[in-house]
Amino acid sequence: MNARRNAKINKIPKIGVALGLLLAIGGAAAKDLGTRGASWPVTESDLLDEIAARLRDMDASGELARLENEARQQARRSLEEPAPVAGIGPAVAWNTRLFDPSITVAEDLPGPDGQVIAAAGTRVNPFDHAPLTAELLFIDGRRAPEVAWAMSRALAPDGTRAETPAVKIILLAGRPLDLMRRHGHPFYFDMGGKLAARFGIRATPTLVVRHGRLLRLTEIPAPDDPPERISEAEPASAHTNPSSNRRQPPC
């Protein structure tokens, strides 16, 4: 019995070798059995070709010309009459306040020579580096009295246009190109109301002039029949608080 068991054990390595030879032979003699079922090549349409084809179709149908015309008309409307700045009303009384234009620098500001002129975290007043070359006058171009008053201030005392305007008229609403054609004077537009938000302007006309290292903002009700020039002096009712940037109510 023991002899029979030993004989079986001695055969195990031989069986393992035989199986290995069979696997090797089978791999060497493997055949291509062909493809079972239908197959198609992997393809993907070219996006640029599709776009070109779509544009050709739109051009042939006239749709492309229509869209181009609509885009031109929309751009022209945006230039002729930009969206008015929200929250702006007519000034009803003289109201003056001071505004500090200083800003805190978020990162180092290099000069033309590469030297840092303001380090991050520094509070900088722009008047330390550049002057305010003209007054800023914010108006609503849809109101004729405001436009007339702005032009009376922008023109020279003899009624002629100065070569270098002392006043920059900035619209918060209205048609700047139409006003320029009509008056022969530049009109700017506060696109997106960024300047109005920066200065906290809520009424027009508002005149912005330099006051030392600050800005003085004055709301001035536009007269129905503006004189040739508005006096530089403020009425006694105007109230200015040099220590505050908040709007002060008239006395």
**Rounded Cα–Cα distance for residues 213 and 49 (Å):** 61
In DSSP terms, 215 is beta-bridged to 99, 210
Contacts of 228 (CB under 8 A, 6+ apart): 152, 157, 159
Name the DSSP class of 176. Answer: H
Name the 3-class secondary structure at 42: coil
Q: What is the pLDDT of residues 141-166, one digit of tens each?
A: 999 999 999 998 887 665 566 666 68
The domain that holds 187 is classified in CATH as 3.40.30
pLDDT at 162: 61
Q: State the Cα–Cα distance between residues 76 and 69, nearest whole angstrom.
A: 11
Residue 19 CA: distances (Å) to CA of 14, 16, 33, 168, 233: 9, 5, 24, 98, 113
Kindly report the CA angle at 142 between 138 and 145, in degrees rounded to 5? 75
Check residue 213 and give its pLDDT: 92
Q: Give domain status of residue 94, yes or no.
A: yes
DSSP secondary structure code for residue 209 in this structure: E
pLDDT given for residue 39 in this prediction: 64
Give me the residues of the chain with pLDDT under 50, please.
Answer: 8-9, 11-12, 17, 19, 21-23, 25, 227-251
Burial bucket for residue 140 (CB in 10 Å: 0-12, 13-18, 19+): buried
Q: Domain for residue 14, yes or no?
A: no
Q: Is residue 185 part of a domain?
A: yes
Angle between helices 63-80 and 47-61 (to 10 degrees): 80
On whether residue 241 sits in a domain, the answer given is: no
Q: What is the pLDDT of residue 43?
A: 59
Q: Which domain holds residue 161?
A: 89-100+130-219
Q: Is the dihedral of CA 18, 21, 23, 26 positive or negative?
A: negative
pLDDT at residue number 129: 79
In a domain? residue 173: yes
Q: Is 161 within a domain?
A: yes
Quote the pLDDT of residue 60.
84
If you count them, how many residues does the chain have? 251
Q: Position 114: which residue type?
A: G
Counted domains in the chain:
1
As given in the structure block, the two tokens for residue 58 are 């739109």
Where helices occur in 29-62 by DSSP H, the ranges are 47-61
| pLDDT at site 137 | 96
**What pLDDT score does 209 carry?**
94
Question: How far is it, in rounded angstroms, from Cα 108 to Cα 120?
Answer: 5
According to the model, what pLDDT value does residue 105 have? Answer: 84
Residue 12's H or E segment, with its range, is helix 2-28
pLDDT confidence of residue 250: 34
> Does residue 59 sit within a domain?
no
Query: Does the residue 80 lie in any domain?
Result: no
Q: For position 68, what pLDDT does the model report?
A: 81
